[in-house]
Every structure is written in C-alpha cells, then in structure tokens.
Amino acid sequence: MSGMSDIEKEIISDFELFDSWEEKYHYIIELGQKLPKLDEKYKLEEYKIKGCQSSVWLNGEEKQGKLYFSADSDSTFVKGEIALLMMVLSGQTPESILESKLEFIDALGLRQHIAVTRANGLSAMIKQMKTYALAFASQAK
Amino acid sequence: MKNFNVHEIRKDFPILSEKAYGKPLVYFDNAASSQKPQVVIDALSNYYTHYNSNIHRGVHFLSQKASAAFDEVREKVKSFINASSEREIIFVRGTTEAINLVAATFGRKNIGKGDEIVISAMEHHSNIVPWQMLCEEKGAILKVIPMNDAGELMMDTLPALLTSKTKIVSVVHVSNSLGSINPIKEIIQQAHAKGIPVLVDGAQSSAHDVIDVQDLDADFFAFSSHKILGPTGIGCLYGKLHLLENMPPYQGGGEMIQSVSFEKTTYNEVPYKFEAGTPNIADVIAMGAAIDYWNSLDREAIAAWETELLTYATQVISKLPSVKIIGTAKNKASVISMVIDGVNALDTGMFLDTKGIAVRTGHHCTEPVMIRFGIVGTLRASFMFYNTKEEIDALAENLEKAISLLQEKQVA
C-alpha cells in the first residue's frame, strides 16, 4: 500500500462507499460516460489496442515533462476503466508512470468482474500507457 | 407421456437455487455449459468416495468396481446416440478433441495436396482451426458453405462445393452463436452420393435433440459431456467402425497398445487404439449418470418446452427498442443472439450480471460469423429446459433498463 499515490488512495476510499458490484458498475459506467472525447484523428488502427470483447484507442502526449493520455473505447465500462487509469497516470512524469504498480486496481474489489476485460484489454492498456512513458522518457534523455 | 413440470425439474439442479450478488440466479449461458443435476454431482462424489482406482488390469476390488462402472458408460453412450456398436464410441476430452482426433488421424492419412475439406460459414473455431492446420501441413484447401442473412446455410451452393477432390465434410449440427439447425441429413446424403464422409459437430445439438447417428448416417459425430448435463473434461467421438479401424492411432502410450517391444509395437483394437493413457474415469462415470438422467426425462415434452421458451423469448425481445436478433433461421434451437443499436454487448452483459442474470457476450468463438454479419459480437441468451418464462421476463425487463442507461447518457 505504501507505494500508492494519493490519487490511488482517494479512488479506493471513493469505492469504499459502494456496497455492491451493481453500485460499482454504475459508477464506472458514469465515469465512462464522462470521459472526454478522443479526437477523431486518433481513432486509427495505429492507436488501437484490440481486445477480445472491446477495442481501445489510446494516445499519449507530452507537455512540459508530463504525459497526458486521451482514449476511447466501444465499451462504456472499458471507458470507465480508462478514466480510472487516467486519474492515476495522466499528467504524471514518464518516470512515475513507469514506476507505478497500480496497486489500487486490486483494492477496488473488482477483480472477478473485470477479469474478462482485464485479461484482454486492461492489462494491454496499462502496457501501452507504460510504452508511451518509456518512449518519452528515453526521448528526454 | 411422462410429466414435465419445469418447477419440479429445477429441483434436480441445486445450482439453480443459488443467488448471484444476493439475487436469484438466472442462468442463460447454457450453450456454453449446462448445469448439472444432483445425480451427476453424486456420481462424481461417489466415485471418489467409494471406488476411486485406476481401471483395467487391476486385480483388486476397487479397480474391478471402477472398471465395470467405466465400461458400462460406453454402452450408455451407444444407446444415447443410437450407434450400432459400443466400439464406435471413443472417449475424448470434448468436441474440440474429437474433431482434432479426426483431423490428425483420418485427415493425415487420407487428405493430401490439392484435396478439399468442406466446412460451413457458421463453424465454431474448433471446427475451423484443426482443418486449417491440416490444410497447412498437407497443402489441402478449405472450402466453406455460405449462409444467408437469416443464418441458414445456402444449400444450393453445396453440389458445386462437393467435388472429386473433397475428402471430408465437417459441419455443425446446431450453430452455437445463431441457433440455426442445419439440414445435416441432407448434407450427409449429398456428400455420400459422392462418396464423401461427413463429421457432424454435435456440441449444441446433443443438448436439445434426440441424436440418432444411424438415422443421420453420420460418419463421425462429436459432442461434449458438459453441454449435456455431465461434467467438464469429457466427451465422445462416434465413428463408423470401418472408418475407425482404418485410421492410424491418435496419441501413443498405455492402453492403446497390444504389445510393445523396442523393435515393434502393435496397437490395441478400436476404440482403445485411440485412448492412450489413464482415461478420465470419474467424468466418464458421471457422464453416464447424465445419460441416465436424460433417459428419465420425457424428451418430447422437453423439446416442446424449449421451443415454447424460444418463441416466447423471441417475442418479448423483438419488442425491445433498438434490439436486433442475429440468427433468424426458420429451424432454430433455443438460442437468441442479439445486437443493440448504440449499446455495447459487453456493457449490457455486465449490467445483466449485476442483476444476477448470466448471459454471454462476444464472438462466441465464431469470428467468421460475426464478420459475415458485419458485427464485432453479440449478446447471447441460450435456454435449457430448466429455464422459465419468468426468467425470460427478467431478462427482457433488465435489457430494457440496460438500454436506457447505456444509450441515453451516451447521447447526453
């Protein structure tokens, strides 16, 4: 737990308000519906992470040493997952993105429910975000 | 006619009284795997509690008891699909292994460069990939019977697809993603008229129809125990005896041999030739219990009830806004695949899950079917005789809620 950022801890405490999977589902859907739109120019094959049940388009941009992500998915739930990841990773330095273990994901009590998206999409999404971070980190050097 | 009362029959399946997130479980993922009656669960537990032992060649009490229980099941399967001899029944892990076995033995022996294999446009990946692997190895060609927009095979294309180069036809009896029941008997007749053997993928059909391999005149018929109320990890390949006898063995090991020396090994007779190693004894015995259970049911009444469920579900689901049913074949099993305008199937499936309703979303291991319909996946509800109309009402009601949640806010 010690390696977690304040934002991660905040998300965990938000989720502690929910008693059921149903409430968590509705919250994640809401986050997904609020996710800012991805510029159409990024909805291309080269930005696409193909999962078994959903696709994600992800772009990362560097501004003053920090990395900002924007993304979209055909699944609102996956968009909600993206929103959670972006709360933690977007606007951070490439180094801290690379170091982040994203331990909060396991603390949300969602493991069994997101297994299907996790196996196919979520881990690929995290990997892609870290790849962006790695690319920008090595560029900076 | 024996009595059929769905509420009575549900008592045979303990899992149906389980709760999901504190809500009554509605299980509509039967095409993926059926639930098990208590007698099947008991058979598994009894085996391990009272007579677990390796079979055949054992001189002791437990082994004799286990061997007898195991051997009896081959006879039960023979009757279940009306094979002419129990030697025509090979125990495998499931439909997938059954098809792979035929591709690896019959296929390797009889299919060569430039030969053709005919499958259909609605095959499960397990009836595509083994043949593609064989084609790659041998330089053979895979040909596909197309389907129309309703999800029915275009039978008028079949005569031209069956050529002097066709070495096998391998077709699904009932589509897992569309529910279409294929005119398998007619396909077999046409293939046989040209001397071509036919493998029938019976993974779905065996759970709904009474199977008669002799009446179908199928050369091979594959099915899985877990879809017909039995345990996972076991299934059967039926093959006509003269075909099996001419096929090389599948895997090498114990049980499949007659004698082994470093110079020469001779193989055991059919079906043991194809069953290397210690078999899945417990699951074979429990599959036997599942077949006994089927035999205790009124199959006609069950089929009628499943048709009623399908008709009812089709009616109520068709009325929902933005829902389109994919797979509208005239002859259909109790499966409803759907897409919802502007709503992702995965999101909908997860919404239903929060309500305790189990459906499946995605391509259902039939990606070519999804491509054919220009979609990425569907939400599929598949019914078994233990399902009720009240459960279908719950599905429809919650689908409507999912649509208004997921569609409305997306626009806003």
Question: How sure is the predictor about A120, in pLDDT bands with cuts at 50, 70 and 90?
Answer: low
* CA-wise closest residue to B364 among B345, B340, B387, B383: B345
User: What whole-number distance in Å separates Cα of residue B173 and Cα of residue B122?
Assistant: 10
Look at the block and give the residue holding tokens 């009444």: B301
Cis amide leading into B271 (omega within 30): yes
The mean-pLDDT minimum among A83-87, B96-100, B101-105, B234-238 falls in A83-87
Cβ of A25 within 8 Å of Cβ of B405? The answer is no
- List CB contacts (< 8 A) between A75 and chain B: 344, 346-347
Q: Number of folded domains in chain A?
A: 1
- A74, B6, B15, B42, B307 from B11: Cα distances, Å: 41, 9, 9, 15, 21
Cβ of A113 within 8 Å of Cβ of B344? The answer is no
Flag whether A65 is in a domain: yes
User: What whole-number distance in Å separates Cα of residue B151 and Cα of residue A117?
Assistant: 29
Domain with residue A132: its CATH number is 3.90.1010.10
pLDDT at B411: 47
What mean pLDDT do residues B301-329 have?
97
What is the distance in angstroms between the Cα of A12 and the nearest Cα belonging to chain B? 20
User: What whole-number distance in Å separates Cα of residue B241 and Cα of residue B270?
Assistant: 8
Question: Nearest Cβ partner of B405 from A29, A54, A116?
Answer: A29
What is the distance in angstroms between the Cα of B73 and the nearest Cα belonging to chain A? 36
Phi-psi region of B199 (alpha: psi -120 to 50; beta: other; left: phi over 0): beta
Q: H/E element holding B335?
A: strand B335-340
Which DSSP category does B125 fall into? G
For B334-392, write each residue's pLDDT tens digit.
999 999 999 999 999 999 999 999 999 989 899 999 999 999 899 999 999 999 999 99
What mean pLDDT do residues B96-123 have?
98
**Residue A21: closest C-alpha in chain B:** B354
For B72-90, write each residue's pLDDT tens digit.
999 999 999 999 999 999 9
Decide the pairing of beta strands B198-201 and B220-224.
parallel
pLDDT at A1: 43
User: What whole-number distance in Å separates Cα of residue B32 and Cα of residue B382?
Assistant: 8
Domain range enclosing A109: 6-140
B154, B146 Cβ separation under 8 angstroms: yes
What mean pLDDT do residues B147-173 have?
98
Cβ of A116 within 8 Å of Cβ of B344? The answer is no
Q: H/E element holding B69?
A: helix B61-81
Cβ of B410 within 8 Å of Cβ of A76? The answer is yes
What is the distance in angstroms between the Cα of B111 and the nearest Cα belonging to chain A? 33
**Residue A113: closest C-alpha in chain B:** B350
What is the distance in angstroms between the Cα of A43 and the nearest Cα belonging to chain B? 17
**Residue B342: closest C-alpha in chain A:** A74
Q: Which residues contact B372 (CB under 8 A, 6 or more apart)?
A: B121, B147
Which of A75, A113, A118 to mutate to test binding with chain B, by most B CBs within 10 Å of its CB?
A: A75
Look at the block and give the residue holding tokens 């895997």: B251
pLDDT at A117: 56
Q: Which residues contact A8 (CB under 8 A, 6 or more apart)?
A: A88, A102, A103, A104
Token reading at B104: 């690896």
The DSSP bridge partners found for residue B168 are: B117
Cβ of A22 within 8 Å of Cβ of B410? The answer is no
Instruction: Sort A120 into a burial class: Cβ within 10 Å, 0-12 / 13-18 / 19+.
Output: buried
A52 counts as catalytic: yes
Q: How many CA atoms lie within 13 A of A132 on its CB side?
A: 24
Fold held by B6-30+298-411: Aspartate Aminotransferase, domain 1 (3.90.1150)
* CA-wise closest residue to B182 among B193, B196, B170: B170
Task: Tell me, rounded to whole angstroms, the distance of Cα B397 from its chain centroid.
Answer: 30
Residues in A whose CB is inside 8 Å of some CB of B read 20-22, 25-26, 29-30, 33, 52-55, 74-78, 113, 116-117
* SS3 letters across A61-119: EEECCEEEEEEEECCHHHHHHHHHHHHHHCCECHHHHHHCCCCHHHHCCCHHHHHHHHH
Kindly tell me the sign of the dihedral angle through the C-alpha atoms of B73, B78, B81, B82: negative
Residue percentage of chain A with pLDDT more than 90? 53
What is the distance in angstroms between the Cα of B363 and the nearest Cα belonging to chain A? 8
Q: Which residues contact B98 (CB under 8 A, 6 or more apart)?
A: B90, B92, B220, B222, B223, B235, B236, B237
Q: What is the mean pLDDT of chain B?
A: 95
Cβ of B344 within 8 Å of Cβ of A77? The answer is yes
* CA-wise closest residue to A38 among A3, A73, A80: A73
For B261-288, write each residue's pLDDT tens digit.
888 888 889 999 999 999 999 999 999 9
Cβ of B353 within 8 Å of Cβ of A113? The answer is yes
Token reading at B4: 């059929």
- List CB contacts (< 8 A) between A22 and chain B: 21, 354-355
Question: Nearest Cβ partner of A76 from B22, B347, B412?
Answer: B347
Token reading at A122: 């979520």
pLDDT at A69: 94
B132 or B264, higher pLDDT: B132
Cβ of A21 within 8 Å of Cβ of B21? The answer is yes
- List CB contacts (< 8 A) between B412 and chain A: 33
pLDDT at B351: 97
What ipTM was reported for this prediction? 0.90
User: What whole-number distance in Å separates Cα of residue B238 and Cα of residue B12?
Assistant: 29
Q: H/E element holding B143?
A: strand B141-145
What is the distance in angstroms between the Cα of A7 and the nearest Cα belonging to chain B? 26
Residues in B whose CB is inside 8 Å of some CB of A read 21-22, 344-347, 350-351, 353-355, 361-363, 376-377, 405-406, 409-410, 412
Question: Nearest Cβ partner of B346 from A21, A26, A75?
Answer: A75
B146 or A111, higher pLDDT: B146
Q: Per DSSP, which regions of B160-218 are E strands?
A: 166-172, 198-201
- List CB contacts (< 8 A) between A55 and chain B: 376
Question: Nearest Cβ partner of B354 from A22, A55, A76?
Answer: A22
Residue percentage of chain B with pLDDT more than 70? 98
Q: What residue spans define the domains of chain B?
A: 6-30+298-411, 41-295
Q: Which CATH architecture fits B41-295? A: 3-Layer(aba) Sandwich (3.40)
Flag whether A1 is in a domain: no
**Residue A30: closest C-alpha in chain B:** B409
Look at the block and give the residue holding tokens 């709760």: B19
What mean pLDDT do residues A93-121 have?
79
pTM, 2 dp: 0.93
Flag whether A108 is in a domain: yes
- List CB contacts (< 8 A) between A25 and chain B: 350-351, 354
Token reading at A73: 């998915």
For B24-67, write each residue's pLDDT tens digit.
999 999 999 999 999 999 999 999 999 999 998 778 999 999 99
